[in-house]
Structure 1
C-alpha cells in the first residue's frame, strides 16, 4: 500500500465518521478498502464498551468474502464466570493490563500458542495475528468505555510484513475514532431514552432542550403504584428491595412500551406514563392493552417469586384523559422533560382511590367517554367520588375483568 492509498482510506473513514455512518458499515468499508489496496486482511474484530443498563459492550466483525453476523453484544462480566475467565486469558486483556499498544503472534505449529484464540485461528487457516489497543485519555473516557480493541489476521503463508503491520498501526486509529463517534451517538440515544423515556429522549436529542419550551397536548395518562410497598420495604431485607422494584418495574414498563406508550417518570414504586396518538380512542385502546399485559406479567411474576419465598404484590392503576403541558420544566441547572397540569394530578388521585374502593384499576369518566364503543362495554361504574384538589366529584369506572381479582 502506498502513501496515496493510505491517505484515501483515512479521508474516507474520516468523512464516513463525520456523516454518522453506522459501526458495521464503517468496519466493512474500512476493511474492504484495506484489501483493495493490497493489505491481505482476512478477518478483523473491533470491540468497544458502552453505557447500557444490560450490555457492557459490542464487538464488530468483518470476514473477507464471507456472510456472518457483524455484531455481537456482551453483558457485564461477573467474577468467577467462564466469560470473565475467557476475558482474562485473551490478548485484549494482556494489552490492557500491560498498557501496551500492540501484540503480534505468528500462528502455526512452529510458533508459541500462549492464547486460546490462536488455536481457533490456526484451524481456520490464519497465519498471523495482530491486536491493537487505542486507549482514551481520562477526559475522553465514558464510564467503562476507556479504549477500543481491535484484532487483524491474515491467511497468506508469510503472514503480515513489517510494513503492513506499520500501515495497520497508522490507519486503525482513524477507524477507532470514527467508531467512537458512532458509539457515542448510540450511547446518547440509550441514555436519554433510558432516563427520560423513548419519546421524550428523541425530542431532547432533536434539540428540544430549551427551558420552558413545552407543547400543549391531549394524552391518555397512566399512573400506577404497588400495593403495600411501604410494608414490604419495612419488613424485607434491605438487599431485597431493589430486586423487588426491578422485577415489578420490568413487568409494568415492558407492558407500556409494547402497547405504544411512553414512561416519563418512576416515582419510588409509582410509574407515570402517557399514550398519545391522533386518535384518542386508539390511545385508550393502547392503555387498556398495556393494563392487560401488565396483569398477566405480574401474575406470572408472583407465581415465580412466591415459589422462591419472596414477597409479592399487585399494581394499582389510574387512567385518565386530559390536556397537559409536555416539555422542559425546571431550573437552569436541572430540567425534567415530563408532563404537568391538573390532569396529571387527577390521574394520581384516581390511582390513590384504588385502595379505598378495593379495585385494582380505576378509570375516569373522561377516559370512559373517549374509549372505543367496544372497550366501553367492559367498564363498570363504581360510583361518584370526590378527588382531592378537584372541584367536582366525578364518576369512576373499573373493568369487568378487574372485578374478578
Structure 2
C-alpha cells in the first residue's frame, strides 16, 4: 500500500505539531509512544523522515542510558540499553552523537556529500558540519538505505543535553524547509519528553534504592509516616560473618569489592525468585517474599538454595586466588509484618517491622551456633509442599522469642 501524506506547509505543520505536542499528549504516559507519535505525524505532514532516535542519559547502576528508536513501517518504538563503555568505543568516537555531546549545535551527515563541506546556518539550528566522514554512521546509513542524517542536542532543564537524530531515505535527503521545521519543533519535543523521562528516572531510582514494590507504593501516595499495610510474607535475613575483622584489616577498596561480589551472589537469587530486597544493613540484607504470590514459599526456598550455590562458587573462586572463603548465614521465617513508612517527620524509611522480622534475624544468628548456612522456622516449613526439602533440627530458644522455635536446615546441607 502506498503511503500518502500532505505536502509540507511549514507554518501549518509547525502549528499542528506544536498543538499536538503541548495539548494532545497530556494523557500519554510513555515517552516511547510520544516519540513514535511525533515521528508518525511528521510523515503525515510531509517530512521525509524514515528513521529517528532519542539517546537519553539515565541514572541506572548498570546502564549509561537508553536509546528509543522509531522506524518507518516498524511495529512500534524500540528501546535498548546503552552500556557505560559506549563513549570509549571506536564506533562512537567522531560520531554525530559524540560531536553533539561535545557541544555541537547540529551535525548533518549525507551519503555522497563531499568530505568536509559545510552547511549553512538554518533558523534555530546553529552551524553544523555536513559530510559523510564518520565511517560507522555511513555504514549504518547505507545498510538501512538512508541518505541524510541530522543530529541535534535535545536540551532539558538545568543544562542537561541529550541527543535526537532524524534520518531520511529520500534521494537528496531532507529539504531545507524540513530541517527548519524539525529545528523549530525540538524545544517543544524536549519539554514534553523531559516530563516522561523524569518520571521514568523517578521510578528507576525508587526501584534501585527501595525495590519495585515499595517504589510503586510510594509513587501511589504512601509517603506519610505511619502509612503502610500489614502483609503476610516470608522474611529472609542474610549476613556475612567476620566482616568487622575484614573491614578493620583490609584496604577500603578491597572491602568494597568483596561486599559487591558477596551481594551479587546473594541478591540475584532473591530478585530472580520474586523477592524484594528492602535494605542493606552494612554486610547484611533484609528481603521479603509476599505470600500472596503463587508458590511464594517454594520461591523463597529456591532463592536460599541458589544463594548457597552462588556463595559456594564465589568461595571456590576466592580460594583459587589464595583468598579466604567467606562465611555467611541465612535465616528465614514467615509471618505478618507491617510494611510501610517509619522514621522522623522529614526522613523516612520504607521497610518492614514486626516480631516476624526479629525471628528471621535470630535464626540467622543461630546459623553460627549450629554451623549451618541456612536455617528456617517451622512456620516457614509449613508453607512448603515438599517437606523433604528440609530436615528438622529440633526446637531452640531464641532471644526475645517467647517459646522455643522449631528449626529446620536444608536437606543435604
- The interval holding the TM-score normalised by the smaller chain is 0.7 to 0.9
Encode CA deviations 1:268-306: one digit per residue, 9 max, x unaligned.
111111111237x94322211111111122222333343
Does the 8 Å contact 1:17/1:182 carry over to 2? no
Match of 2:306 in 1: 293
TM-fit CA distance, 1:387: 1.8
Question: Which protein has the bigger helix share?
Answer: 1
Does the 8 Å contact 1:48/1:148 carry over to 2? yes
1:371 pairs with 2:400 = no
Match of 1:359 in 2: 372
Mapped to 2, the partners of 1:363 and 1:238 lie a distance apart of 34
The correspondence for 1:108, drawn from 106, 112, 135, is 112
The correspondence for 1:96, drawn from 60, 84, 101, is 101
Does the 8 Å contact 1:31/1:41 carry over to 2? yes
TM-score (norm 1): 0.87
Mapped to 1, the partners of 2:322 and 2:189 lie a distance apart of 52
Encode CA deviations 1:108-165: one digit per residue, 9 max, x unaligned.
1534333334532563443333211122342xx6xxxx22211222233333222211
Instruction: Find the residue that maps to 1:306 and give its secondary structure.
Output: helix
Match of 1:343 in 2: 356
1:19 pairs with 2:33 = no
Encode CA deviations 1:54-86: one digit per residue, 9 max, x unaligned.
00101122222357982222121377x4x2x54
1:186 pairs with 2:206 = no
The correspondence for 1:393, drawn from 394, 404, 407, is 404
* Count of aligned pairs: 389
Moved more, 212-221 or 14-23: 14-23
Query: What is the root-mean-square deviation of aligned Cα atoms in Å?
Result: 2.5
Q: Which sections of structure 2, spanning at least 5 residues, go unmatched?
A: 1-7, 117-131
1:133 pairs with 2:133 = no
TM-fit CA distance, 1:330: 0.6
Does the 8 Å contact 2:155/2:187 carry over to 1? no
The correspondence for 2:225, drawn from 194, 208, 211, is 211
Does the 8 Å contact 1:16/1:26 carry over to 2? no
Moved more, 189-198 or 175-184: 175-184
Moved more, 299-308 or 250-259: 299-308
Instruction: Find the residue that maps to 2:56 and give its secondary structure.
Output: strand
Going from structure 1 to structure 2, the CA distance change for 1:372 and 1:161 (only over 3 Å counts) comes to closer
Does the 8 Å contact 1:20/1:182 carry over to 2? no
The correspondence for 2:339, drawn from 326, 333, 338, is 326
Does the 8 Å contact 2:337/2:354 carry over to 1? yes
Mapped to 2, the partners of 1:220 and 1:236 lie a distance apart of 35
Q: Which sections of structure 1, spanning at least 5 residues, go unmatched?
A: none
1:75 pairs with 2:86 = no
Mapped to 2, the partners of 1:401 and 1:17 lie a distance apart of 59
Instruction: Find the residue that maps to 1:345 and give its secondary structure.
Output: helix
Match of 2:287 in 1: 273
Mapped to 1, the partners of 2:139 and 2:295 lie a distance apart of 54
Does the 8 Å contact 1:319/1:347 carry over to 2? yes
1:261 pairs with 2:280 = no
TM-fit CA distance, 1:240: 1.8
The correspondence for 2:234, drawn from 220, 227, 234, is 220
Mapped to 1, the partners of 2:86 and 2:115 lie a distance apart of 33
Match of 1:240 in 2: 254
Mapped to 2, the partners of 1:336 and 1:122 lie a distance apart of 50
Instruction: Find the residue that maps to 1:248 and give its secondary structure.
Output: helix
